Amino acid sequence: DVKVTQSSRYLVKRTGEKVFLECVQDMDHENMFWYRQDPGLGLRLIYFSYDVKMKEKGDIPEGYSVSREKKERFSLILESASTNQTSMYLCASSRQVAYQPQHFGDGTRLSIL
């Protein structure tokens, strides 16, 4: 089975801090994704990466950056955390073959105080 591991289930940070969310997958997937999940808004794509060192902006990239130095690891960075970034963050990975689904991590519930 595919395993997507997010480094923290719960995280509390302060406004202005630089925050790192880490995600690792063990199935050699080309694609990796970061989503934000808020009630009533579903999943909104922040960034995705289709290869090492490659990234593309999703629907809500403002205030975020990403890093993919190795194929298995995809990091989401909040450059200067703000309270409106309090949310559930989901990491996912997939093969580039179109019929393949995404596989998700457990999510990180991030609170910015």
**Residues found near other proteins in the complex (CB under 8 A):** 31, 33, 35, 40-43, 45, 48, 50, 58-59, 90, 92, 94, 96, 98-99, 101-107
What CA–CA distance (Å, rounded) separates 44 from 89? Answer: 10
Q: In this complex, which beta carbon is closest to other proteins, that of residue 35 or of residue 74?
A: 35
Query: Considering the complex, what minimum distance in angstroms separates the CB of residue 26 from other proteins?
Result: 15
CB of 85 to other proteins, least distance (A): 19
Which pair of tokens denotes residue 34?
A: 């970061």
Nearer CB in complex with other proteins: 19/92: 92
Distance CA 37, CA 73 (A): 21
Nearer to other proteins, 63 or 107 (CB): 107
E strand residue ranges, 4-63: 4-6, 10-13, 19-25, 31-38, 42-51, 54-57
